[in-house]
Structure 1
Amino acid sequence: MKIFIKVKPNSKNEKIEKIDENHFNVWLKVPAREGKANKRLVELLSKYFNLSKSKILIISGFKSKNKIVSLNLS
């Protein structure tokens, strides 16, 4: 399953907002430096979807706020 995410780093709070079936906004406390935001994004998605971190893969947008993420639901 592919989902499209708009990440908002350096936020006061961390939360995930579902826009529709495949689109989400994600607020992160960590800065978008040295992969910290990407790492934290995977951790939050892991909890949200109840998946292990190894089943979540950022496909596109490693250095962008707009990301495409693959979730291995099987």
Structure 2
Amino acid sequence: MPDFFRSASESVDVFVRLTPRGGADAIEGVEETADGRAHLKARVRAAPEKGAANKALEKLLAHALGIPKGQVTVSSGASARLKTLRVIGDVHEIVRKLEALAGTP
């Protein structure tokens, strides 16, 4: 399976498919689309209005990674289901936590 993230020197970009108004705030693993791209599947209770779903997603991923929510921001796809979130911090530690979150070695 292709990676659902891309690391740089000081940050990691995480590719996410978000379902707003999903009934619960949860990360549901990794899925691969027909074109071969991988995304972290997430759902939030918040509606996609005035950035509420994006803020809930940032908070959800930060909590799942055990980092402050200020280190996670939506860097692209703010009004789309497929988003890129930038996570700033210790790249090796973030990658390790993402792999554990996805259940990959």
Q: Identify whether the pair has TM-score above 0.5, normalized to the shorter chain.
A: yes
Aligned partner of 1:68 in structure 2 is 84
Aligned partner of 1:10 in structure 2 is 21
d(CA) in 2 for partners of 1:28 and 1:8? 6
Question: Pick from 45, 50, 55: which aligns with 1:39?
Answer: 55
- Structure 1, unmatched stretches of 5+, are none
Identity within the alignment, %:
22
Which structure's residues are more often helix, by fraction?
Answer: 2
Amino acid at match of 2:42: V
d(CA) in 1 for partners of 2:22 and 2:14? 21
Q: Which runs of 4+ in 1 moved over 6 A?
A: none
Aligned pairs, number: 73
Following superposition, the deviation at residue 35 of structure 1 comes to 0.5
- Structure 2, unmatched stretches of 5+, are 1-11, 32-37, 91-105
Secondary structure of the equivalent of 2:56?
Answer: helix
Secondary structure of the equivalent of 1:58?
Answer: strand
Larger relative contact order, structure 1 or 2 (CA cutoff 8 Å, min sep 6): 1
Instruction: After superposition, give the CA deviation of every residue in 1:21-42 in whole Å (9 maximum; x if it has no partner).
Output: x731111111000110011111
Secondary structure of the equivalent of 1:68?
Answer: strand
